[in-house]
Structure 1
Amino acid sequence: MALTRAFVLLDRDGTLIEERDYLRGPDGLRLLPNALAALRRFRALGLGLVLVTNQSGLARGYFDQQALDAIHERLRAWLARDGLHLDGIYVCPHLPDAGCACRKPRPGLGLRAATELGIDLSRSFVIGDKRSDIAWGLHLGAMTFLVRTGHGAEEEGAPGARAHHVVDDLLHASEFVQRHIHQRGRM
């Protein structure tokens, strides 16, 4: 598939939904404030939306694939009620030391999503609350945003990969993306 379109590649926990210590089922799922407004803005800008998440709780046995699928089904249902959808959900189920190519910050899942969905990574945006999300976005060649939700406030000053932009939350990231796209359109 040819690279055709810019996307927002979102981390899940602490970026789109509330951070939980290994969310084990759909009953604990909570969208972060303003998340829906941000997703609506991204869609209005013509951007695709992909969720990319490390879920080592699967390998640790804290939950099974059925529970993970139920979490994502509930998330999709909530988004659908607001007229929104995700173009894809990509999950790394491995432990941090497994050496897989799919666990962020390794680029595997981003490259797979780009191939499957026709994502132009150089025009896309990665938003997350951890340094691993930012390093992942930089490896992909995307513009990166560290949100201060989830672990973001703790990660902001830590050594390691530096985001292009640090913002309070997903809504603030969407505002910045909107300004960026409009400025780029005037060039």
Structure 2
Amino acid sequence: MLNAEKLVILDRDGVINHDSDNYIKSIDEWIPYPSSITAIARLTRAGYSVAVATNQSGIARGYYSEVTLRAMHDQLTALVEAEGGRIAHIAYCPHEPDDKCQCRKPLPGLLLQIQKHLGLKSLTGSWMVGDSLRDIQAGEAVGCKTALVRTGKGIKTVQKGAGLDKTKIFDDLAHFVKWLIE
């Protein structure tokens, strides 16, 4: 059975792939950081389970469809598997900020979906890795240890500084994974 302490939950845009203020609307716009794909595979090989929790309000805004999102996630999964890794589950919120859903980070709904899907009693001791304060807040709400990467919105988040007291900060996902494993 999966141990919560061997689970790493990742935000997607800005952590795994390049982010855009104009949204990632197509498979052509979904451009992974090569070091992130390798890092996910490295986590898997080291005995960690990896899940993804991502806000995708572009669906509700009509910028892209769930079919397009699935194609992006299929590409992510294929790239990770090609390097010997595995993604245990991908949870996404398709809602806009004003929809008052329970899944949009900083609320912990996506992380709770992952917890349920993976059959965990809790997420205490798991890692939540993101590039924004909302990722950190979602993780802290369910007892995750938190890490912020400087990719994506990470540098701006670090510059703001608020709410990162217990959060470890890394240049990118690869540096976090190297630190965690070694």
List gaps (5 residues or longer) in structure 2: none
Partner of 1:55: 56
Residues 155-183 of structure 1: CA deviation (Å, up to 9, x unaligned): 1021542152011000111122224xxxx
RMSD after superposition: 1.6
Which of 136, 154, 157 is the matching residue for 2:159?
Answer: 157
The 5 Å alignment of 1:98-177 reads 98-119=99-120, 120-162=122-164, 163-177=166-180
Partner of 2:37: 36
Contact 2:139 2:146 in 1 (8 A): yes
Residue identity (%):
36
Partner of 1:18: 18
Question: CA 1:3/1:78 → structure 2, altered by over 3 Å: closer, same or farther?
Answer: closer
Partner of 1:96: 97
Aligned equivalents of 1:148, 1:94: Cα separation in 2: 26
Higher mean displacement: 38-47 or 121-130: 38-47
Residues 34-61 of structure 1: CA deviation (Å, up to 9, x unaligned): 1123112211321111011000000000
Contact 2:17 2:30 in 1 (8 A): yes
Q: Normalising by the residue count of structure 1, what TM-score does the alignment of the two structures yield?
A: 0.88
Aligned residues: 178
Contact 1:11 1:51 in 2 (8 A): yes
Runs (4 or more) in structure 1 with deviation over 3 Å come to 2-5
* C-alpha displacement of 1:92: 0.3
Aligned equivalents of 2:51, 2:58: Cα separation in 1: 21
List gaps (5 residues or longer) in structure 1: 180-187
Amino acid at match of 1:42: L
Q: Normalising by the residue count of structure 2, what TM-score does the alignment of the two structures yield?
A: 0.91
Aligned equivalents of 1:116, 1:70: Cα separation in 2: 21
Amino acid at match of 1:145: A
Partner of 1:4: 3
Contact 1:10 1:128 in 2 (8 A): yes
